[in-house]
Structure 1
Amino acid sequence: MSQMENILQVREEYRLQQWRQIVQQCRESGLSNRDFCRQNGITEKTYYYWLRKLRMAAADKDSPRIVELERKDSGEDMIHIRFRNAEMTLPAGTDADAITAILRSLQKL
């Protein structure tokens, strides 16, 4: 990574941290997003731009990872999936595309 790329990455992380604080202040203020922005001289467009960037950064950080699962013999072959705060059990014959679609849906939550 070049020095310029490193500087840009640090700058971006600093700005994300600033906006995390601003979004937190907005939530704690009890005001609507619109009123908070007006009182703090922030355009709504800018606020929502950074809110979207924060959500995307969080989604990248929490992206699903493949982990090895231990098999428990329950007499019936089942697939057990745990993702964030959700758990599900599916028949072992469940189509891989269906499982992928389920995981993608959970990721959007």
Structure 2
Amino acid sequence: MNMREMAQEVRLANWAGIVRARRDSGLSVRCYCQEQGINEKTYYYWQRRLGQAACEWLASEDMPSQKESPVFAALTMPSSRDSGSIVIRLNGAEIEIGGEANLSAVETVLKVLRGC
């Protein structure tokens, strides 16, 4: 691992800690950011980058390769679905993670998926 990759891992770990602390606080993003002196747009940038990193990690070379292209079907989404939720579709399974999900639970789900 080169220095650039190590620095990125440190940043991601720091951002994950902040996102976890905000979720554990029970405060809204706006209130938490105001209390911590964090720009709200910066917080959402970090959250988005963490999601992208999780997707890249799932798609890494360690994942079993699929010989066939995935098949997607149109789904109607219920209106009750939280706008901050993430839906992961992999190998015929669908996992929905709500916007207020505990980060350690998300990490556990991603580890299990990676082992599939």
Using the size of structure 1 for normalisation, the TM-score is 0.58
Q: What is aligned with 1:23?
A: 19
SS at structure 2 position matched to 1:106: strand
CA displacement at 1:100 relative to structure 2 = 2.7
Q: RMSD of the alignment, in Å?
A: 2.8
Structure with larger RCO (C-alpha < 8 A, sep 6+): 2
**Structure 1 stretches of 4+ moved >3 Å:** none
Q: What is aligned with 1:33?
A: 29
Distance in 2 (CA, whole Å) between partners of 1:54 and 1:65 is 22
Gaps of 5+ in 1: 69-95
Alignment of 1:54-65 (within 5 A): 54-63=50-59, 65=64
Distance in 1 (CA, whole Å) between partners of 2:64 and 2:54 is 14
CA displacement at 1:67 relative to structure 2 = 6.1
SS at structure 1 position matched to 2:37: coil
Distance in 2 (CA, whole Å) between partners of 1:65 and 1:46 is 34
1:100 aligns to 2:96 (yes or no): no
Letter in 2 for 1:100: V
Identical pairs, percent: 37
Alpha carbons of structure 1 residues 35 and 25: separation in structure 2 relative to 1, 3 Å = same
Distance in 1 (CA, whole Å) between partners of 2:38 and 2:28 is 13
Distance in 1 (CA, whole Å) between partners of 2:56 and 2:71 is 17
Q: What is aligned with 1:80?
A: none
SS at structure 2 position matched to 1:66: coil
Gaps of 5+ in 2: 74-87, 97-116
Distance in 1 (CA, whole Å) between partners of 2:44 and 2:6 is 22
Q: Deviations over 1:26-63 (max 9, x none)?
A: 00000001110110000011101110010011111123
Aligned residues: 75
Greater helix proportion: 1
